[in-house]
Chains A and B, each alone.
Chain A
Amino acid sequence: MTGKQTLPEASEDLRDVVLDVHDAVKYFRTRRTSLRGERAQVHAVDGISVRLRAGRTLGLVGESGCGKSTLGRLITGLDTPTSGSVQVGAELRDVTAGAGGRVQAVFQDPASALDPRMNVRASVAEALGGVGKAEREQRVDDAFAAVGLPRELGSRYPHQLSGGQQQRVCIARALIARPDLILLDEAVSSLDASLQAQVLDLLERLQRETGTAYVFISHDLRAVRQVSHSMAVMYLGQIVEEAPADAFDRGLLHPYAVALRSTEPGIFQGEEGIERVVLRGEPPSAVNPPPGCRFAPRCPIADDGCVQVAPELAEVSTGHRVRCHKPGELTLTRAVHADSATSGAADLGGEL
């Protein structure tokens, strides 16, 4: 545990930090396959440390099963870490689900996040447990106004609202207790493109007004990048690259992050010609992660050292950390140049 204290940000000041995840680990035990068999452990989250300041957004991306949703449950306190700590709020107390509503969440499917038997006004008011009736009514009205919902919709039931309206109700519920941190777990993934943009704009505006920190989990890089101040890429329970948003735009260093990024068409103007790095195969099992670099079996630039020695998360510039032995050797390349300068990279992509 003490050895991890050497992480660069450990010495930084904790001003405005509202989320401090320190070496969080979450293992799930699998079911016994036979009476004598040992119960294997799924390494869902395997030693993650992140910090987030008030008013900032951390984008968390990775493919399905990389543990990002488990990390989300740890951050909200819905699950407790196997080891390590998750502290939230201005006082950085250990998180427990529901303690004062300091951490709220907006989930992927708004239809399942709202009780079908409860009118949406009652759902929004749920976080106001010890608040008097008059103040509660006022605050619910305010929350409806803040997310742009007409007050008259309050007496409706979720199935009488559209998907976008439902998600606004969820956002109103998350906001109303004035939390320090809101977890957005695939919060716009179930909405269509125009609604996504609306809801993302709404979230950005609310963040400017309230100063709430967001952790935005998604497999959709574009949506995450639009609202995030810093980005973390997860692979098999670990963060492989964490970068400020501008570094994320400028130059990613981890091959997996590059591959992920290259498959997203046109995040920015004039990017259409990027060569795709297509990864072959599935991520290794999280039950027995490979001893060396976890990405090595699928990595286009891995060598013997990568397979044998696990890389540490090392800081390359301020706030930019990468877990790779050969950071920056695979970069985003433009397809228009592929015939000449970067044919080597293209060949590597082809023989995966």
Chain B
Amino acid sequence: MTKPSSAHPRPSPPTAPPTTPTPAPKRSFRWPLRGIVANVAVFLILGYIFLAAFGSFLVPYGPNDVSAGPRLSSPSADHWLGTDALGRDQFSRIIAAARPALLSATYAVLFALLIGTAIGIAAGFLGRLWDGVLSRIVDLLFAIPEYLLAILVLAVMGSGLINASLAIGIVTIPRFARIARGSTIEIAQRAFVDAARLCGRGRLWIVFRHILPNIASPLVIMTAINLSTAEGAYAALSFLGFGVRPPDADYGSMISSSQQYLLTDPWVVAFPSIAFVVLVLAFNLLGDVLRDRLDPHTRTAAGA
């Protein structure tokens, strides 16, 4: 009651920002996250971010260095996770692949979030003809099989990290657009939107000050869930050869180039697969945790 600034309807973000400039040194730092799952997810993701940022200083060998060791050697003291068919150090390559993995998922989801939310809000808020046209476009996008559409985009634009992310982003747009549209329609009929209109506020003010803050929760949940989906999609495209250019490391391409050794030297497939699955799992857990925290009703199986 006496401290209104901390009494805020939004759950605190993972890293608590100091909202008050006043020095409050008495209180020791408190880890803001409760629950094992939440902590594991955040810990894993932070770990991958760390590897993506500083991995190049940690790797014992150059990730593309073909003379790092003998071909297809088993895990050993020299090569902790063995070497691949060209004698490259698997441990170094797995660390190097963290960066494109994280970047692709982030780019794709940010792109979809931005465009999808804009389309969804426009459709939901402007209504009528806008809603009809935009919703039909989104339906159309939804109707095309995702990978087919992504590969089509890549065939036109060429492969590479940015293009693959963009392709995944495009096929992810409808999910964000639908969530944003539905939430916008629900918020736009509330009386405070009418009150804002009577106060002489324009559409842009209403969208940015009233609609967006109120539809943020489902969008954040969608973002977390789609990070894992996008990560999986990027690995699949990379497996098919649309990811980063060889010889740079990528989980998908590492799996695809080693699959012929699956029966004789299983670790060359196993280790990049494990690294990939753990990352996707971490994103999934984060999405679940956020949904539990932000959406107490869990009324929509978002993304389904």
Contact = CB atoms under 8 A, between A and B. Distances in A.
A170 B195 CA distance: 9
Given A112-B190, A115-B214, A157-B9, A129 B201 contact: yes
User: Which of A101, A115, A156 has the most chain B CB within a 10 Å cutoff?
Assistant: A115
Contacts of A97: 194, 197-198
Contact of B192 (A104, A108, A115): A115
A98 B199 contact: yes
Nearest to B189: A112
A118 interface: yes
A274 interface: no
A117 B198 contact: no
A103 B191 CA distance: 15
Interface in A258-288: none
B76 interface: no
B4 A155 contact: yes
Contact of A101 (B5, B194, B200): B200
B213 A117 contact: yes
B128 to A, nearest CB: 12
A107 B196 contact: no
Interface string A231-268: 00000000000000000000000000000000000000
Contact of A107 (B7, B8, B195): B195
Interface in B18-41: none
A113 interface: yes
Interface in A83-108: 97-101, 103-105, 107-108
A48 interface: no
B261 to A, nearest CB: 55
B197 to A, nearest CB: 5
B209 interface: yes
Contacts of A159: 9
Nearest to B209: A118
A107 B193 CA distance: 11
Interface residues of A, number: 34
A101 B210 contact: no
A173 B209 contact: no
A113 B195 contact: yes
Contact of A98 (B191, B200, B209, B213): B200
Contacts of B10: 117
B126 to A, nearest CB: 16
Contact of B197 (A78, A118, A156, A170): A78
A112 B192 contact: yes
A320 B10 CA distance: 54
B199 A113 contact: no
Interface residues of B, number: 21
Interface in B112-142: none
A58 to B, nearest CB: 18
Contact of B199 (A112, A156, A157, A173): A173
Contacts of B210: 115, 117-118
Contacts of B8: 157
A199 interface: no
A107 B191 contact: yes
Contacts of A170: 195
Interface in A102-136: 103-105, 107-109, 112-118, 123, 126-127, 129
Contacts of B191: 107-109, 112-113
Given A115-B214, A155-B5, A156-B4, A98 B192 contact: no
B195 A173 contact: yes
Nearest to B217: A117
Contact of B200 (A107, A127, A157): A127
A177 B213 CA distance: 25
A123 B192 contact: yes
A76 interface: yes
A82 interface: no
A160 interface: yes
Contact of A76 (B198, B201, B213): B198
Given A116-B214, A118-B213, A78 B200 contact: no
B198 A105 contact: yes
Interface in B271-300: none
Contact of B201 (A78, A98, A109, A117): A98
Given A98-B201, A99-B200, A155-B5, A105 B214 contact: no
Contacts of B198: 76-78, 97-98, 101, 103-105, 127
Nearest to A130: B200
B192 A114 contact: yes
A191 to B, nearest CB: 15
Nearest to A97: B197
Nearest to A177: B199
A102 B190 CA distance: 21
Contacts of B195: 105, 107, 113, 123, 126, 170, 173
11 contacts: A98-B201, A99-B200, A101-B198, A115-B214, A129-B199, A129-B201, A155-B4, A156-B7, A157-B8, A173-B199, A177-B200
10 nearest CB pairs, A to B: A127-B199, A98-B200, A117-B213, A113-B191, A107-B191, A155-B4, A126-B199, A115-B192, A97-B197, A112-B191
